[in-house]
A and B are shown apart, each in its own frame.
Chain A
Amino acid sequence: MRGVNDLGKRTVIPFGPQHPILPEPVHLDLVIEDEKVIEAIPSIGFIHRGLEKLAEVREYPEMVYVIERICGICSFGHGLGYVTAVEGLMGVEVPERADYLRTMWHEMSRIHSHMLWLGLTADSFGFESLFMHTWKVRERIMNMFDLTTGGRVIHSVCKVGGVRKDVGGEMLERIASEVRDIRKETKELTKVFLNDTSVKNRLCGVGILSEDDARDLCAVGPVARASGINQDLRLNGMCKYGELGFEPVTGKSGDCYARCKVRILELGQSLDMVEKITSVLPDGPVEVPVKGPLPTGEFMMRLEQPRGEAFYYVKGNGTKHLERMRVRTPTNMNLPSMVRMLQGCDLADVPVIILTIDPCISCTER
């Protein structure tokens, strides 16, 4: 039995890989003293599949199906990143309409990803009805994906040279009206997430990441923005973001509350952008035939995923198969920040802190 003198001794608590709060397997060894976490040692590798190597056996237009399955939550973004990189390699110009449609779907996937995150976070601090409400709203956007692309989570609409499906005028109107409904419902949810006392008690001042730490540890996406770093790759001129006019959302305090707020504000922005695209979508073709020599050379591109910056590298060797294909995903970059946030936190806050970086282990390990 442990006596009074043993209090303050270090204990190691294993967390995961199967844990009610984690939808995905990641394992952490939490070294705790009393109730405080001294150190968190992550171990990953449960989901590694090795799909970058598949580029050697799958032809490059076919590879997009594999890339989309890096992660089911940001599947559209991964497909987009890959085809844009291959298009860059082959010098393909994408028609205007296709580019707008890609932007629209990319923003829709941000909406669905952020809502998914909000729901899971609510669940992690034990607010189950909020989780259910958020996911109920999220089903609307899933439905829109289903109607426009034919799939709920894996869409397969991006292809080298454009998009596979067009969206008709009637559908666009429907999307616009749906977006207005979603905005109304999100307003209600926002009130709870940002003003409710019990939510604030669980989020404010928890898991603080200072701006300097965020820079040193190379945080990306909402995690970096919540710590006050104004960095958003949507400003880099990819797709049609330039024409839509948006400003990145940043926070100051770098705690869980700031990260939650940044995502909620981004959600509103994305809804605005989708609505705007439905009214400004130009007419024209949605794909161009891809001709010319097979890809050679190297190309690199960066893309803002819902979770942050993702990086794609492709290298062709003049055959139908790419010689090398590499993806670096946002969660990979945010893991060091997460370990920093966990140091010194209460054991009870661990699930919330882990969730606020919006971990996507499938992406990280591929």
Chain B
Amino acid sequence: MSNTAKSPWLIHYDGSSCNGCDIEVLACLTPLYDIERFGIINTGNPKHADVFLVTGSVNEKNAPVIRQIYEEMLEPKVVIAVGICATSGGVFRRCYNVMGGTDKVIPVDVYVPGCAARPEAIIDGVVKGLEILERKREAVRMSRKKVRGVPQ
């Protein structure tokens, strides 16, 4: 396990959610669920983050914000869509100002279902994301080696 996977930092952005999933994400940080025991820390800075948690669906106005945060994050990174809104639009699917899930603007690695997603499910999703993060890190390392011409 790399250092990144030992202590991944996450950034959270609320798309057009109802808050339900956001407060569950916050609940994960607090003593009962205590996501910090996995070394996970919530940060506000995209450049420090390895994991991007998105709650809520995407609309015209927040799509650029989501894209910008994603682009500011350094490789390797994983995106986790929390809640059914972030997965597909959920109950708001037929609203006029909802484009759909997070995958309409950025690639998503893990989908956490639920409305609202329970803290246990969110933690499970993040832990799944860490495996993907590790694989991506390995891929980034290999490609750098290739560029430098180091024998494998």
Which residues of A are interface residues toward B (Cβ below 8 A)? 17-21, 23-25, 45-51, 53-54, 57, 65-66, 69-73, 75, 116, 119, 131-133, 135-136, 139, 142, 151-154, 360, 362, 365
Contact = CB atoms under 8 A, between A and B. Distances in A.
A119 to B, nearest CB: 8
Given A20-B44, A53-B95, A154-B115, A136 B31 contact: yes
B92 A153 contact: no
B31 to A, nearest CB: 4
A66 B91 contact: yes
Interface string B32-60: 10000000000110000000000011010
B86 interface: no
Nearest to A73: B19
Given A136-B30, A139-B30, A153-B116, A362 B61 contact: no
The A interface, classified by DSSP as helix, strand, loop or mixed, is loop
Contact of A51 (B14, B26, B95): B95
Nearest to A113: B23
A69 B26 CA distance: 18
Contacts of B148: none
Interface in B95-152: 95-98, 115-116, 118
B69 interface: yes
Chain B's interface size range is: 35 or more
29 contacts: A17-B62, A18-B44, A18-B69, A20-B44, A23-B14, A23-B23, A24-B14, A25-B65, A47-B14, A47-B15, A47-B16, A47-B62, A49-B16, A49-B92, A50-B97, A51-B92, A54-B94, A54-B95, A66-B92, A69-B92, A71-B19, A72-B17, A72-B20, A119-B30, A135-B26, A139-B27, A153-B116, A360-B19, A362-B19
A48 B31 CA distance: 32
B62 A69 contact: no
Nearest to B65: A17
Contacts of A70: 18
A53 B118 CA distance: 28
A119 B97 CA distance: 32
4 smallest CB-CB distances across A and B, nearest first, come from A72-B20, A20-B44, A135-B30, A72-B19
Contacts of A151: 116
Contacts of B20: 69, 72-73, 75, 153-154
Contact of A46 (B65, B95, B116): B65
